[in-house]
Amino acid sequence: MLTEFLFLVAGCALRFYGGDWLVNGIAGLANRP
């Protein structure tokens, strides 16, 4: 499923970047109309 793929990518990105920008990006997507 697409969401599962995104969470997998997110998990990998968190390991490399710490996740602040990623959390903000996901929050922005979730707040879309």
Q: pLDDT tens across 5-24, in order?
A: 988 888 877 777 665 776 77
Residue 24 pLDDT: 77
Residue 2, classed as helix, strand or coil, is helix
Residue 31, classed as helix, strand or coil, is coil
Q: How many domains are there within the chain?
A: 1
Residue 19 pLDDT: 58
Domain that holds residue 21: 1-33
